[in-house]
Structure 1
Amino acid sequence: MAETGNDIKKAASLLRAGELVAIPTETVYGLAANALNSDAVAKIFEAKNRPHFDPLIIHVPSFDAVSLYASEVPNEAKQLAEKFWPGPLTLVLPKRDIVPDLTSAGLDTIGIRCPDHALTRSLLQTLDFPLAAPSANPFGYVSPTTAQHVDQQLGDRIAYILDGGSCEIGIESTIVGFEESHPVIYRFGGLPLESIIDVVGPLKTRAHSTSNPRAPGQLKSHYAPGKRVILGDISILLKEVSNKVAVISFKTDYKIPNQIVLSPKGSLHEAARNLFSALRKVDELPVDIVFAELVPNEGIGRAINDRLTRAASAH
């Protein structure tokens, strides 16, 4: 069990000493370390059992800090940051040499974002380095949205958990990169595609990679509980198998004992906020299989469907 609290000074002191601290954001909890300290960053990979070819995101207090770590910032990146920072948007930019290759997984780019959480922004403002902070969970498993989730999975591997309550959005940031100066979606997330298009116009998507990701969260098999997840029409799936089954539905009540409805009122934002908690809860149920259904593929629904599809791919 890790010590948990809201002591920013304690968290900052541990991070300066090269230790790991879990931090809250509006998306999910991150496992943070000094992004410029290779030894500290190595502890992230070790604690998560994360493959070293999967790059990390660094977190900064404001857009003013970006030029310290990125050698080039396209105009469209500036426009997106001006509109959506602080918020659930990561920009993949050419990195400066000050950012260790371990942090960027050997790539010449680095993901940067400014999180929208008062506690973590206050922490970042006290530090003279950015924080590398992937989700605070074992690699490939469900991302944490409360301090308790972090403690359950990584409490014996980290020095401190900065408790900022439940995450408001509950799903990771949207990642946008730039190829030949044109924006590209690398991961669907908490910022809807439509909002990005409103600022920069149409853009390409490259959301999956089998072994050579350009950004975090691109691996096909990811965000998975321990139970097998099957996607489809739940009403049909339940006709084939009904014993030892759990259901994760969008808004429909299928009248079975082991069921989690993400949003009875049909809100995609509520469904996103509840998704990872639902995937955790089914692991605790006396079932062998989880039936799940896709949500409307619009707005933040794209990110929900992305996570559900990859949870199913894990099995």
Structure 2
Amino acid sequence: MDKSPRPSPANSRLAQQPTSYYAASICEVTRVAEILAVGEALERALALLQGGDVVAIPTETVYGLAGDATNGIGVARIFEAKGRPRFNPLIAHVADMAMAERIAVFDPLSRKLAQAFWPGPLTLVLPQRPGNGIHPLVTAGLDTIALRMPRGFGGDLIAKLGRPLAAPSANSSGKISATTAQAVMADLGDSIRLVVDGGATPVGLESTIVKAEGERLRLLRPGGVAAEDIEAVVGAELLRGHKAGIEAPGMLASHYAPGAAVRLNAGNVEEGEALLAFGDRRAEGWRRAVASLNLSVSGDLREAASNLFAYMQELDRSGARTIAVETIPFDGLGEAINDRLSRAAAPRDNIQPTP
């Protein structure tokens, strides 16, 4: 690993010609991550993105590993840093509706959702507009694209760049999503150049993903916008389940996984296990846990969602071979929490899309 001093924004290393990597258009650059606060990071992040590099940025959901969605080198570096399977598509993030309209074709139902929830933690899967300039790696060969409009620093950065950003969660593929800059550093600090520190992310779960199918909407991934809130806007119940194959990001069966095994709906705690608790009633034998954290003592699902990934990471560091998870209700954001937990508990060699 490179032990050279951390580069400064003025460092000339960005202008160096790096050695060839695994394809003619992709180059290997020595990366030594630095952390900059959001108020100091915009120009530095912009320079890296314009140079075909990647930047870890805060969003309202989780931290994202961002690259220019129109630049094949930048997009390839996202896959490289994450170790992400090439058949798993990425979400493209936009600054405004004008940018979104240049990329995708909106049906009336999707437009209504964009007006209600953008900017925010909702991703829409839409038909691609021909000639939109999005690199094929972003969509994994699909004729649709997943679009989201983030708040805060991400939106400002995209507007300044003038192009959409592809930005999956800033963590190694299949591992726990990062909700703090420090978690990004611990995982990807040796693989990227810059982490923008915006503090802990307020939502703490990835975005909800939906797709219009005629006059109905299908929920492809529960997330930061509760299904009930979407149903209230469209006046109809969301369809559940999906076709065979991957239609959108985050649909791998095994995903968001810690190093420890995960045991769900635990009514008891076995010797040597860590406990991920919820609410004010404990699983039998909870005092045996080598470590214990409560997602929300009061049973608040929004608080639980914001704590989920950080607490899983902390329990994973306890050395326990298994994390026992108490039962969490499915209403509201509980659906998204249980989705992430079920993927974390899936067999680790299962990289097929969920049925």
Q: Please give the TM-score of this superposition, normalised by the length of structure 1.
A: 0.93
1:123 to 139, 157, 162: 157
Deviations 1:149-187 (A, max 9, x none): 111111111121111110000000000112235321110
CA-CA distance at 1:286 after TM superposition: 2.7
CA-CA distance at 1:234 after TM superposition: 2.6
Structure showing greater Rg = 2
Contact 1:222 1:314 in 2 (8 A): no
2:194 maps to which residue? 160
Q: Quick one: which amino acid aligns to residue 100 of structure 1?
A: H
Contact 2:290 2:318 in 1 (8 A): no
Distance 1:84 1:301 in 2: 19
Deviations 1:34-77 (A, max 9, x none): 0001111011111111111100001111222111111x101111
2:352 maps to which residue? none
Distance 2:174 2:228 in 1: 28
Q: Quick one: which amino acid aligns to residue 136 of structure 1?
A: A
Distance 2:327 2:117 in 1: 27
Contact 1:246 1:287 in 2 (8 A): yes
1:75 maps to which residue? 108
Is 1:135 matched up with 2:166?
Answer: no
- Give SS of 1:168's match: coil
Structure 2's unaligned 5+ residue stretches are 1-31, 349-355
Q: Quick one: which amino acid aligns to residue 220 of structure 2?
A: Y
Q: Quick one: which amino acid aligns to residue 110 of structure 2?
A: A
1:296 to 329, 332, 336: 329
1:169 maps to which residue? 203
1:248 maps to which residue? 276
Contact 1:187 1:207 in 2 (8 A): no
Deviations 1:231-256 (A, max 9, x none): 12333xx2xx2x21101011234344
Q: Matched residues, percent identical?
A: 44
Contact 1:185 1:206 in 2 (8 A): yes
Q: 1:208 to 1:266 in 2, by over 3 A?
A: farther
Q: Quick one: which amino acid aligns to residue 218 of structure 1?
A: M
1:225 to 241, 250, 258: 258
- Residues 274-289 of structure 1 mapped to structure 2, 5 A cutoff: 274-289=307-322
Which structure is higher in RCO with an 8 Å CA cutoff and minimum separation 6? 1
CA-CA distance at 1:128 after TM superposition: 1.4
Contact 2:272 2:290 in 1 (8 A): no
Distance 1:283 1:192 in 2: 28
Greater Cα offset, 24-33 or 122-131:
122-131
Q: 1:63 to 1:206 in 2, by over 3 A?
A: farther
Deviations 1:173-202 (A, max 9, x none): 000112235321110001000001011212
Distance 1:207 1:174 in 2: 15
- Give SS of 1:205's match: coil
CA-CA distance at 1:287 after TM superposition: 1.5
1:9 maps to which residue? 43
Distance 1:311 1:208 in 2: 21
Deviations 1:14-49 (A, max 9, x none): 101111100100100000000001111011111111
1:205 maps to which residue? 240
Is 1:91 matched up with 2:114?
Answer: no
Runs of 4+, deviation exceeding 4 Å: none
Distance 1:92 1:110 in 2: 6
Distance 1:108 1:29 in 2: 27
1:147 to 159, 176, 181: 181
CA-CA distance at 1:207 after TM superposition: 6.0
Q: 1:167 to 1:2 in 2, by over 3 A?
A: same
- Give SS of 2:159's match: helix
Is 1:29 matched up with 2:63?
Answer: yes
- Give SS of 2:299's match: coil
Q: 1:226 to 1:91 in 2, by over 3 A?
A: same
1:109 maps to which residue? 144
Contact 2:53 2:73 in 1 (8 A): no
Q: 1:195 to 1:147 in 2, by over 3 A?
A: same
Is 1:46 matched up with 2:77?
Answer: no
- Give SS of 1:11's match: helix
Q: Over the residues paired in the alignment, what is the CA RMSD in angstroms?
A: 1.5
